[in-house]
Structure 1
Amino acid sequence: MIGKILDGRYQIISKLGQGGFGTTFLAIDKKLPNNDQCVVKLFSPQVDDPDSLHEARRLFNNEAIVLNTLGSHDQIPRLLAHFEEDEQFYLVEEFVSGEELTHEINPGKKLTEEEVISLLKDILKILEFVHRHGVIHRDLKPSNLIRRKHDRQIVMIDFGSVKQLTSQTINIHQPSPLTVIVGTHGYMPSEQTQGLPRLCSDVYAVGIIAIQALTGLVAVSLPQDSFTGEILWREQLQSGQVSSRLADVLDKMVKYDFRQRYQSATEVLQALEKVTDASSSRKSSLGKIIIGLGITALIGIVTLGTLFKKDDTLEPYNIDNYGISIQRPKTWQPEERPDRITGNVVRFISPLVNNTDKYQENVNLVVQDLSENRSTLEQFTPFRLDVIKQSSPNIKIIQEGQQKLANIDAYQVTYTLQEDSMSLERLQIWTVKDRKAYILTYTAEPNQYSASLPTVKQMINSFQIIK
């Protein structure tokens, strides 16, 4: 391929890279006086007959039109040409001289909050333009972001839309082509791994890039919560390294459930402006407080906050007649209410924090005897899900899937509901053993749900079936 001239003008001089979706070459344009450099991308469609090749050609031309439109942005490479030779498709794009963002974001290196906010805004402003045209990038990662040499601006490259086209076997006689998932592990959210990318899938990827920059960890090494699927990145930071406002924005960007994420780059940019404004205001206010009140007053404020800190230390709680045990926070009061008909055993109730606290978070434990046709987890789970869905007309399932409880297979579902005109969020996990169902349910107001979730997960992890 080296030295070959394509379309009568583009001479290949070296290979830049090769992957499952095609090959990228550096070339020179022989029809320009300075032999300007350009990038040639070769794609080989998987087709079975002439009619399918015709359909692949039509789709490829449509994608080229989209890429040509995006190339009107200064920070997206211009599409110079697209053509077909020997039943293979080629894109010719502007060559961008610069370095991949992998030179700035690499293992062990941590960027400051200010640097990460600046980086986020740079990427999101380009992505905002992309999303405005209804295009999903699908493969955002540091190696697809170039720091342009002459002006140090970020350039976004390697859109996944053409990859999507050329990774599917096209057969016009089959209504549903089998599609290979486009993206990179670690940067893809759950819906994208199922072949259902959305605009907010790109938001997730940008959030992972930012977290990677803050923690110095590679994307695939970021720990995940086994119950919720959420990224556990805050534990990787040093105290005070990142403001809570920025951390909250990043948490929302990488939510496991796409419905809980920012839905577009524009929404994230608006949230980041508030972070920047709050940071400036906080610095100004802090200076005034120190001058006006002195160090002693500040110490008093810290001490006052310490007095009201919740004590979530766990202690064992055994229920001998049911042969089970669990650990509970000392401040969560047990309310025993055994009922063989409903299966209720005990409910642990959190304390009221202040006078405005309207709802006490709680964990309820139920043990139910099962009939023969519901005596396994596989049989009981569909029944239990039906019970949940029929318990209220406004149930909204957020997440569900297999888990572990008491070291045996279990099923977990998270959902929202309205109860007595109050919005609530609920996590329920159950397992089956010896024709008994063991069900743990955590309920809280949506704005308080995350605050007690780490404690609740400790309770769930501590649950044991002794007999």
Structure 2
Amino acid sequence: MKNWTREDILRLAGVVVAFVIGIAGLFFSKTIVVMQPPAQPNFLVYNNSDYPINIKYPKDWNKTEEVELGLKRVKFLPNVSQISQVTVEIEELGKLPTLDDYTNSYINDIIQPKPNDNLQKSDYSLSKGFGYKLVFNKVNEQGVLTKNMTILTLQNGKAYIITYTAEESQYNQYLETAQRMIDSLNE
């Protein structure tokens, strides 16, 4: 047998320490995952001086324009959904009601809430004014339970009604995008 010198013992100790650190690193290492926020869609600006409206919307969404009984409507729909949509309606007001009166009329005449619709009303600030936010459930024409967020505001003798509608179970999927669209109205 060989006599171990002090240098031999230090080398062996160094190898053992390195081995132990390496093995410990394998057992106790943590993978660091950097979470990136979901990619924000690229937005285009829809501008129509006839309506008068401008609003940002995702470039990969479809848009349609309609005029029905004096109500001007623009719908924005994601390509992958038949139900999810953001709709902007502009109504010319002959006699200018208060926002409270208009909102109450809208709730009673258009939404016609039932007890299980869970209607919630709150104040809402837009870039050019104040409005009300209504959140409620509703069964649509196809019998699908939807969740809706409607923003009502009055500007320049017109009522602006912006509604985000989605199947209740998918409401959160486009909520952030819808919120960005709503907040961009007439910036």
Partner residue of 1:367 out of 90, 105, 113: 90
Paired position in structure 2 for 1:399: 120
CA contact (8 A) 1:325 1:464 kept: yes
**Unaligned runs of at least 5 residues, structure 2:** 1-32
User: What does residue 418 of structure 1 align with?
Assistant: 139
Q: Which has the larger strand fraction?
A: 2
Give the Cα–Cα distance (whole angstroms) in 2 for the partners of residues 434 and 311 of structure 1: 32
The residue number in structure 2 matching 1:333 is: 62
Q: 147, 151, 155: which one pairs with 1:429? A: 151
Structure 1 residue 386: Cα displacement:
1.0
1:464 paired residue number = 186
After TM superposition, give the deviation of residue 404 of structure 1 in Å: 1.6
1: CA distance, partners of 2:175 / 2:72: 22
Residue 343 (structure 1) aligns with: 71
1:405 Cα shift? 2.5
- CA separation in 1, counterparts of 2:158 and 2:100? 13
Cα offset for 1:394? Answer: 6.7
Structure 2 vs 1, CA of residues 405 and 336 (structure 1 numbering), >3 Å: closer, same or farther? same
Cα distance in 2 for partners of 1:337, 1:416 equals 25
The answer to whether the Cα contact below 8 Å between 1:351 and 1:360 also exists between their aligned partners in 2 is no
Structure 1 gap ranges (5+): 1-237, 241-308
User: Paired residue for 1:46?
Assistant: none
- Closer, same or farther in 2 for the Cα pair 1:334/1:452, shift >3 Å? same
Are the aligned partners of 2:51 and 2:72 in contact in 1 as well (CA < 8 Å)?
no
1:450 aligns to what SS in structure 2?
Answer: helix
1:441 to 163, 172, 182: 163
1:376 is aligned to 2:98: yes
Distance (whole Å) between structure 2 residues aligned to residue 322 and residue 458 of structure 1: 20
Distance 1:338 1:310 in 2: 34
CA contact (8 A) 2:164 2:178 kept: yes
Q: Shift of residue 337 of structure 1?
A: 1.2
**Percent pairwise identity:** 26
Q: Which residue of 2 aligns with 1:317?
A: 46
CA distance in 1, matches of 2:144, 2:53: 32
> Amino acid of the residue matched to residue 84 of structure 2?
E
Q: CA deviation at 1:421?
A: 1.3
Q: How far apart in 1 are the matches of 2:88 and 2:115?
A: 23
* Larger helix fraction of residues: 1
Q: Which amino acid aligns with 1:463?
A: L
C-alpha distance in 2 between matches for 1:438 and 1:417: 21
Aligned partners of 1:311, 1:433: CA distance in 2, in Å? 29
- Which structure would you say has the larger RCO, counting Cα contacts within 8 Å and 6 or more residues apart? 2
Residues 354-376 of structure 1, C-alpha deviations (whole Å, 9 max, x = no match): xxx6x33111111112242x522
Q: Distance in 1 between matches of 2:138 and 2:53?
A: 29
4+ residue stretches of structure 1 with deviation over 3 A? 392-395
Structure 2 counterpart of 1:122: none
- State whether residues 376 and 433 of structure 1, in contact with CA within 8 Å, keep that contact through their aligned partners in structure 2: no
* 1:324 alignment partner AA: I
Cα 1:395/1:319, change in 2 over 3 Å? farther
Q: Deviations over 1:314-346 (max 9, x none)?
A: 11110111222000001111111123x151321
Report how many residues are paired: 153
Asked whether the 8 Å contact 1:405–1:430 carries over to 2, the reply is no
Cα distance in 2, alignment partners of residues 458 and 424 from structure 1: 20
CA distance in 2, matches of 1:409, 1:431: 6
Question: Equivalent residue of 1:337, what SS?
Answer: strand
**Contact 1:395–1:415 (CA<8 Å) still a contact in 2?**
no
Largest Rg, 1 or 2 = 2
2:18 matched residue in structure 1: none
Closer/same/farther in 2, CA of residues 433 and 395 from structure 1, 3 Å limit: farther
